[in-house]
Amino acid sequence: MDSVPTLHLLLSFLIFSSFNSSLLIKASDSISRGQFLSGNNTITSKGAKFELGFFKPGSSKNYYIGIWYKNIPVQTIIWVANRETPVTNPSTSKLKFSKTGNLALYNNSSSTPVWSSNSSSSTPESISAVLLDTGNLVLINGSDSDSYLWQSFDHPTDTWMPGGWLGVNKITREYQSLTSWKNPDDPAPGLFAQSMDPDGSNQYVILWNGSEIYWTSGLWNGQFFSNVPGTKEHTVFNFSFIDNSKRKFATYTILANSVITRCVMDSTGQVLQWYWLKEQWQPVFTQPLHHCDVYSLCGPFGVCDEKSSSICRCSDGFHPANDRDWELNDWTLGCSRKSRLQCGDKDGFLEMANVKLPADRENLMVHSSKECESKCMNNCSCNAYAYDSGGCSIWKGDLRNLQQLHDGDIGGSTLFIRLLATDIPTSGNSHHNAIPLILGVVFGVIAIICVVFALAFVYRRRKRAQALKQVEGSLIQFRFSELQRMTKNFSEKLGSGGFGTVFKGTMPDSTAIAVKKLEGLRQGEKQFRTEVSTLGAVQHVNLVRLRGFCYKGSDRLLVYDYMKEGSLDSQLFRDNPTFLNWVTRILDKSRSHCITFRPNQTEVSVSWPQVP
């Protein structure tokens, strides 16, 4: 009884193994009829240089059948089978041979392949696919490994490998070219291609959208292409150009097996020859040399800027047509207007200075820039105009190849792009844009200067007021100009005597002072300072306090506290209507005898004429 379950188990295992025969090719370099590749299974070339299997590029959710370098840590795809028809689940997708002998990719349980080699074989039962150490996937019939029924080198995507070829089949008139990926996340065909010249000359060209040629290799002269002289100088590979009855093509081979190189038509429109050096890919050949020389790299209404980190940008009044594509450096859709044009007085022009003008201009005969602007404004198809010494140019339709130049670049012009007036920056249109900004800056600077001067003035006044405050046991040395200001140029005279005239003044802290201008003195500055210092040291309740002095040239001035009642003599004689009566005089005389014993007695304020 126990043998029955064991037999069932064995049969189930055999059936499962035969059904999932892809497990048997995990360590193989080929796929034979009856086998299939699915999920994470891969095949590896005999020398373990290349690997074929399902891969997912970048952040994409789609899967593709591709070939990549086996021993390079950065997955580098050199060929894609289903670049236009991805699958979403590799576990339910299968790469296998069809009944007719085609290598095909099937998605889920569908009987219709999403990709096929479109090859034919008279004996499909003996066909197999082999991955070579050159990175070439070939279909062979039985043991005839020298005759290929089909090979991936005849159907390159964006990469030209050593041993591969680019050219034209003279019999079928089919061109074999490199076509860029749409972007790093999408291997679908992009807009840029490298191909043999479609006009039949012996040179290679790079085209945009299959029509616009923006770079040529120059003609083959028997040794190299005239615009690529380094082709013959390379000692790393051997470059050949062959023209026979069947094909006209170029090919190259590596002279050292240790060299890893590939030629790529990049999604940014440049052709690059890459070498694997020091654990990274390094470009040794790039054409065109500058990004902005690529035709329509930034798409319609996009602006190319070599010095910008993102290369492409949208000007004012426009925004990226597809934000996701722009994040992936795919600018082919360019920029879209924020608002539709109204074709009338609601439109205006945005000035763009120092730019390389777009392609496909139309020249007009006019006499002024105003007339040129009017010609464009009155034509609803006109999207931009430029006026210079060469005359008037207008552009209809999409603007392409618009390039921002910088200091030192030659050939810069001013372009006026048509926008809805409300989309033009609020700072103004064209030449008026800078005026409000300049005025704002000027008024701002003036305001700052005024504030600084005001603060400096207040600060100096405060510092001077503090400096004028008497320090204990010292006199203040005033400047003559300060005393002039305090006395209002000596305008309020208090009196005069044998040694000078006294004027009333006011200090910055509003303290009243009496300033005496001495006259008739001839002593020097040193003697004057000595006598003033002695006088300042005298402190008595019956003497007015000396605050400071001034010495300037022949001018000598003394500064006293101001006594509003005047000097003692003005209080003793009848010339003064408020003179002291005799009772007050007798009482004050009596107090003077007791002053030593009554220290808190109110001081008598008198002023005596004092001479230093």
Give the pLDDT confidence of 32-68 residue by residue, as tens digits.
999 999 999 999 999 999 999 999 999 999 999 999 9
Quick one: 370 and 320 in the same domain?
yes
* Domain harbouring 145, CATH code: 2.90.10.10
Residue 553 lies in a domain: yes
Quick one: 208 and 327 in the same domain?
no
| Angle (CA) 472 475 481, round 5° | 135
Please report the pLDDT score of residue 567 as a whole number.
Answer: 65
Quick one: 314 and 209 in the same domain?
no
Quick one: 253 and 354 in the same domain?
no
Strand order in 493-497's β-sheet? 476-477, 546-552, 555-561, 512-518, 500-506, 493-497
Quick one: 29 and 151 in the same domain?
yes
Residue 76 lies in a domain: yes
Q: Which residues of the chain have pLDDT under 70?
A: 1-27, 122, 143, 229-235, 427-440, 461-474, 498, 521-526, 539-542, 566-580, 583-585, 587-612
Residue 462 lies in a domain: no
Residue 586 lies in a domain: yes
Quick one: 182 and 285 in the same domain?
yes
Residue 459 lies in a domain: no
Question: Measured between alpha carbons, how far is 53 from 84 in angstroms, rounded to an integer?
Answer: 17
Please report the pLDDT score of residue 462 as a whole number.
Answer: 65
DSSP letter at 220 equals B
Radius of gyration of the chain (CA): 50
Quick one: 73 and 188 in the same domain?
no
DSSP run (H or E) holding 317: none
| Angle (CA) 151 155 161, round 5° | 85
> Whose CA is closest to 385, among 405, 410, 407, 357?
357
Of 241, 259, 289, at which residue does a domain stop?
A: 289
Q: Output the known binding site.
A: 517
Quick one: 36 and 146 in the same domain?
yes
**DSSP 3-state of 140:** strand
* Domain harbouring 569, CATH code: 3.30.200.20
Please report the pLDDT score of residue 76 as a whole number.
Answer: 97
Residue 544 lies in a domain: yes
Quick one: 189 and 151 in the same domain?
no
Of 367, 398, 423, at which residue does a domain stop?
A: 423
Question: Measured between alpha carbons, how far is 81 from 67 in angstroms, rounded to an integer?
Answer: 9
How many domains is the chain partitioned into structurally? 4
Quick one: 318 and 256 in the same domain?
no
Q: Output the known binding site for ATP.
A: 517
Residue 259 lies in a domain: yes
Of 242, 258, 289, at which residue does a domain stop?
A: 289
* Domain harbouring 175, CATH code: 2.90.10
- pLDDT tens track for 359-387: 889 999 998 999 999 999 999 999 999 99
Please report the pLDDT score of residue 9 as a whole number.
Answer: 43
Quick one: 569 and 551 in the same domain?
yes
* Domain span holding position 504: 488-594
Question: Measured between alpha carbons, how far is 592 from 604 in angstroms, rounded to an integer?
Answer: 10
Please report the pLDDT score of residue 494 as a whole number.
Answer: 84
| Angle (CA) 175 181 183, round 5° | 160
Quick one: 264 and 314 in the same domain?
no
Residue 441 lies in a domain: no
The pTM of the whole model exceeds 0.75: no
